[in-house]
Amino acid sequence: MGAKKRSEGGKMATDDSADQLYRAYRRNLTEMGLQMPKKLEEKFLEIRDEKNPGFLTEVVFWEYMGPDAIRALADALRDTSYPHLRTIRCWRAGAEDEGTRSLTQYMRICISIVTLELMECGISYLGCDFLGRLLSPENSNPLLVLKLDHNDIGNQGVYNLAKGLCMNSVLKTLTLSYCNFDHEAARAIMQILIFQESALQDLDLQGNKLSSEGCCKVFHGLKVNQTLGKLVLADNVVTSNDVFEDKLIEMLTVNQVLCVLDLRLNFIFDDTAKELLDRMKNAATGRINSTIYEIIFPEDKVAQDTVEDYHKFLQINKKSKKGKKKAKKPKK
């Protein structure tokens, strides 16, 4: 017996999509000579309970499955046009490019997934090509969160993602930490940021090799961007120099949406941090960027006194942001 859902006429109808998915998935696994993961089998037992049936809304793989196992599920989801799945989380699951392609094929047909995490899954630039095509505007995909951390996608992988994301107006969170790209990928990131209808709010690029040169291109994108609230550039072999400092100040003079900038684990020292703060205080506009309330520097290179000076200087922005949030609440 399936779960109940309300039909167009307002009457309650039986939805047996979970049972159809289970049967299709088991069939695919059998053909491939694979076993169903224990946790997923337990979940299917739960949602197929005759007394209290439900829907499969989240799939989580926390251990190695391999691309065939991912494909078995993705093909079952696609073949049954399963409409209730909202979240897919694969951590070290070994989806690789083939498994990623299968998932995107399902997501093209059934637009229900809003969160996709494929972290440390052996994905290369080819898997990013499948994802970039999926997220291009002609597919009208509703994905809000995409996390690809710890995949060796390289510069080409970022470019492949940007082919779709440079015109995507839906995605809000993108994390590409420790993905083995350098300053040559910065132009693709800039293209994502300068799209006028971008909805991106959180961008994590930690653990790559953007360097000061690449970060300057990202800062250039932020001069145009109107949505990004948090940018993580930690551990990107950034060495502060005059150009880096000028581009950072230039960006902060124009940008009025960025709230948090993470520069940890880079080669930025106390004297540079102090100089940047002085320039922020003496900006020609009277006050630089009215939204940024936290700039995170390397703890082992910037003195605590300097960190506290930043905290005091930027507190007014944080208080102002809280005030705006309160003002948006409707009156009872």
pLDDT in tens, 10-38: 455 688 999 999 999 999 999 999 999 99
pLDDT at 49: 86
Distance CA 156, CA 143 (A): 22
Residue 239 has pLDDT above 60, yes or no: yes
205's CB contacts (< 8 A; 6+ apart) are 176, 177, 189, 218, 231, 232, 233, 236
pLDDT at 324: 54
The DSSP element (H or E) to which 80 belongs, if any, is none
More confident residue, 78 or 319: 78
Cβ atoms of 149 and 120 within 8 Å: the answer is yes
pLDDT band at 62 (very low <50, low <70, confident <90, very high): very high
Phi, psi of 184 (to 5 degrees): -70, -20
The mean pLDDT value of the chain amounts to 92
Residue 326 has pLDDT above 60, yes or no: no
Q: Which CATH number fits domain 18-181: 3.40.30.10, 3.60.15.10, 3.80.10.10, 3.40.50.1400?
A: 3.80.10.10
pLDDT at 267: 97
Distance CA 115, CA 98 (A): 19
Q: Which CATH number fits domain 206-321: 3.90.1660.10, 3.80.10.10, 3.40.50.720, 3.30.530.20?
A: 3.80.10.10
DSSP secondary structure, 223-240, as one string? TT-SS--EEE--SS--B-
Residue 321 has pLDDT above 80, yes or no: no
pLDDT at 263: 98
Phi, psi of 282 (to 5 degrees): -105, 25
Average pLDDT of span 264-278: 96
pLDDT at 6: 43
pLDDT per residue as tens digits for the range 141-171: 999 999 999 999 999 999 999 999 999 999 9
Average pLDDT of span 174-185: 98
Q: Burial, 263: exposed, middle or buried (Cβ in 10 Å; 0-12, 13-18, 19+)?
A: buried
pTM: 0.92
Distance CA 259, CA 277 (A): 16
pLDDT band at 329 (very low <50, low <70, confident <90, very high): very low
Average pLDDT of span 39-63: 93
Task: Please state whether beta strands 115-119 and 87-91 pair in parallel, antiparallel, or not at all (unpaired).
Answer: parallel
Indicate the range of 64-78, 128-142, 284-298 predicted with least confidence. Answer: 284-298
Average pLDDT of span 263-287: 87
Distance CA 305, CA 87 (A): 43
Instruction: Cite the residue boundaries of each domain of the chain with CATH code 3.80.10.10.
Output: 18-181, 206-321
